[in-house]
Amino acid sequence: MKGHSLREYVGLDEVVGPIFVIRNIHNVGYNEQVEIVDADGKSRLGITLEVGRGMAVVQVLGGTSGLSLNNSRVRFREEPLKIGVSEEVLGRVFDGLGNPLDGMPKPLNEHVLDVNGLAINPTARDYPRNIIETGISSIDVMNTLVRGQKLPIFSGSGLPHDMIATQIARQARVKSEDFCVVFAAMGVKYDTARFFIKSFEESGVLDRVAIFLSLADSPSIARILTPRFALTCAEYLAFQKNMHVLVIMTDMSNYCEALRELSTIRGEIPARKGYPGYLYSDLASLYERAGMIKGVNGSITQLPILTMPNDDITHPIPDLTGYITEGQIVLERELHSRGIYPPVAGLPSLSRLMKDNIGKGLTRDDHPSLSSQLFSFYAHVKDIRALASIIGEEELAPLDHQYLKFGDEFEKRFLTQGYFERRTLEEGLDLGWDVLSLLPRDELVRIRKEDIDNHYKARTP
């Protein structure tokens, strides 16, 4: 807020959904804060979506219900949307716009920051280097998570993505003093939010978590800002307070739908499935806020969760997300219905930052080739299963039977683990070898001889 008094206007010209148009005004900047006071004296927040000579289009974050054309008062704040931040945000619960929900006063502001953030200069970025051991083998061994990475969970409704996210948050903490979680819930049900808060509580990290809730019953438009508030907080904690911040954002599909809703109301030209053409740029403006900066100890690691509409990975939301994030953990309904937890799909899951951060001197020498071999065998298992479903299992060659056996063990022993089971990377790798040893040595074409000599112990199923 600038020091001088604010200009106030009375009366609106048009209200459509969460948007209103106001005319006969001047000196209003694009993308700035607006305060709207309705006839009852209730105040709500808005931002300018479009400004022109003598007019502005404003998006109201608290919804427009109860606004009248004549009696509404509008104040232009002449600055973009901002949030006050300090370390006191940890352990607190806020609504989607940064107001406390836990009945306690607003935390002290050490800094007031623009929620839109600024792009990190690519020359100032540091390449993510340290792996985060999540204790989940399907991630650690197969799709290693790296500090500063953005790795979304592609899920579907009814799949245990929330459990996986909380399990990672619980098991990934290395040293408690510099680790914290920023949690943003967008349009999820109260139960889901409750589940997260409860599991943070149970694992004793609640005082290291800042929670931003924009639940399913709050105006959809506020959802667009929730992740921006959360990420601004995260940037402060990571880059000014040197913390390692894990940002969990759920559910990105709700965020995108809010964006589509707004775009439609504004009469914009839609691109695919009614989503606006700038969906990619908009998502990037969130996801790209993950990372590390040279000379700064902290980091932002993002774990966005999105439910793929109809389990369709080619839907614009997962599709554009996949083009921005550094890999994805895909959950598979078929594994889930067979009772396998975590149901991490073997093949479409990927961590792009893995290759530079595992192997000799980083994790274990055999890690890269072991994971590559497991991936390729598992792909082959899928082919054999397809063949078996046509010609019948009895007709398969003996080697193919061995592959099927491998596939079963891979899913039931390697992938499967308990919600509270923390498996170290070492244990995960050894288990991988154990499963691999079901297959004859000659089949292991992707692994170097030394590694095979060291780890391979042939066993007959």
Which has the closest alpha carbon to 369: 458, 445, 430? Answer: 445
CA-CA-CA-CA torsion sign (252, 256, 259, 265): negative
Alpha-carbon dihedral angle through residues 106, 107, 111, 115, given to the nearest 10 degrees:
-60
* The one among 38, 110, 126, 365 contacting other proteins by CB under 8 A: 126
Q: Decide if residue 121 touches other proteins (CB under 8 A).
A: yes
* The one among 66, 158, 277, 418 contacting other proteins by CB under 8 A: 277
Stretch that binds other proteins, among 175-183, 211-219, 390-398, 406-414 (CB under 8 A): 390-398
* The one among 396, 404, 405, 422 contacting other proteins by CB under 8 A: 396
Structure letter (DSSP) for residue 207: G
Binding to other proteins (CB under 8 A) within 317-336 occurs at 319-320, 322-324, 326-328
Residue 50 CA to residue 58 CA, distance in Å, equals 7
* The one among 6, 43, 54, 191 contacting other proteins by CB under 8 A: 54
Q: Decide if residue 452 touches other proteins (CB under 8 A).
A: no
* The one among 24, 386, 394, 457 contacting other proteins by CB under 8 A: 386
Q: Decide if residue 269 touches other proteins (CB under 8 A).
A: yes
Residues in the chain: 461
Q: For other proteins, which is the closer residue by CB, 294 or 459?
A: 294
H-assigned helices in 33-119: none
Q: For other proteins, which is the closer residue by CB, 201 or 395?
A: 395
From residue 451, give the alpha-carbon distance in Å to each of 31, 354, 423, 444: 57, 19, 22, 11
User: Min. distance of Cβ 39 from other proteins in angstroms?
Assistant: 28
Residue 336: its H or E element: helix 333-337
Residue 81, Cβ density class (10 Å: 0-12 exposed, 13-18 middle, ≥19 buried): buried
User: Min. distance of Cβ 81 from other proteins in angstroms?
Assistant: 10
CA-CA-CA-CA torsion sign (276, 277, 278, 279): positive
Query: What residues does 43 pair with on adjacent strands?
Result: 37
User: Min. distance of Cβ 408 from other proteins in angstroms?
Assistant: 19
* The one among 163, 278, 333, 365 contacting other proteins by CB under 8 A: 278
Q: Decide if residue 379 touches other proteins (CB under 8 A).
A: yes
Binding to other proteins (CB under 8 A) within 221-250 occurs at 239
State the number of binding residues for other proteins (CB under 8 A): 83
